[in-house]
Amino acid sequence: MPDFKILFMGTPEFARTSLEELVKNKYNVAGVITQPDKPAGRKMILTPPPVKEYALSENIPTYQPQTLKNEEFFELLKNINPDIIVVVAYGKILPKNVIDYPKYGCINVHASLLPKYRGAAPINAAIMNGEKVTGITTIYMDDGIDTGDMLLKEETEIGENETFGELHDRLAQIGGKVLIKTLEQIKNGAAKRKKQPENGASYVAKIDNNICEIDWNKTAEEIHNQIRGLSPAPTAFTWLNGKKLKIYKSRVSNDNIVELLEVQSEGGKKMSAKDFINGRKNVKPDEREGILFKFSR
């Protein structure tokens, strides 16, 4: 049975999957550090992160510090006294004294084939840039952003119509399994470090709403990649008859036009493009915005 004492640091659903793998494989997770609860939904109800929900269901001590940079957190770290720290989409930069604390280091699960797509939104970026392959890389953390020595990689192909949400869920599962393999190698003294080459390195910032509006001057493939790279959230959009139209699914037709498959009008519900057309008197079946998209029928 694995005997590492692990401190797990993570926040969203992607991180929860890795924590579930640790528990399933009977690793000793001595504590969980996650982000504070945040308001969510239209009613802005204070909601715990997915990692917290799962950790509490497994009776794992869970902490939500506002900062990692004060003496209070470092005292907590010393009290937990982990052999290794596992970080998966935690959402804050770790101070050097935290990275340097555990005997076996800090391990990070990152959703790209490093050194490409370091940073906060590697899955979105891979899709939006039209990549055909992505994957998971585990690294020893250093004080840079996703710049540490690599341990293991696993590749996976990206489907031509695969959305961010679909790829996210697949990579979360792959990430959990690669994490277990990584920990096994470290425990057995078989882990091999490999420095990241700077050639081919790139960085992607957190996704914001500024990149969500569709520019219809781009190619059909670029628009399709934008739509699927932002689906289901924050969601690409355009304007139709003066109202915002969110687009969740699309495909590129044989005549190189973006065909919309799933949409949501302003104030409405998500629906198929066919239902959208059938329910609107002011949109004719053959209406297009410019010459670049059509609704699926």
pLDDT digits (tens, 9 = 90+) for 129-145: 999 999 999 999 999 99
Quick one: which of 163, 258, 266, 261 has its CA closest to 215? Answer: 258
Average pLDDT over residues 224-243: 93
Give percent of the chain above pLDDT 90.
78
**Mean pLDDT score, 28-42:** 92
- Look up the CATH superfamily of 5-203: Formyl transferase, N-terminal domain (3.40.50.170)
Picking from 10, 97, 1, 99, the residue whose alpha carbon sits closest to that of residue 49 is: 10
Q: Which CATH architecture has domain 209-295?
A: Roll (3.10)
What residues contact 42, with CB distance under 8 A and at least 6 apart?
Answer: none
CATH 3.40.50.170 in the chain, residue ranges? 5-203
pLDDT above 50 (res 291): no
| Residue 51 pLDDT | 98
Q: Are 121 and 210 in contact (CB under 8 A)?
A: no
CA 50 to chain centre: 13
pLDDT of 269 strictly over 90:
yes
Using alpha carbons, select from 239, 242, 240, 258 the residue that is nearest to residue 250. Answer: 258
Instruction: Please tell me the distance from the alpha carbon of residue 146 to that of residue 35, in angstroms, as a whole number.
Output: 19
Q: Which two tokens stand for residue 105?
A: 């280091």
pTM for the full predicted model: 0.92
Output the pLDDT for position 87.
98
Bond before 115 cis per omega within 30 degrees: yes
pLDDT at residue 2, rounded to an integer: 55
Residue 222 has pLDDT above 70, yes or no: yes
Instruction: Give the residue range(s) of CATH 3.10.25.10 domains in the chain.
Output: 209-295
Q: What span, in angstroms and rounded, lies between the C-alpha atoms of 104 and 190?
A: 13
- Say what the pLDDT of residue 293 is: 56
The Cα 206–Cα 278 span in angstroms is 37
Is residue 285 very low, low, confident or very high in pLDDT (cuts 50, 70, 90)?
A: very low
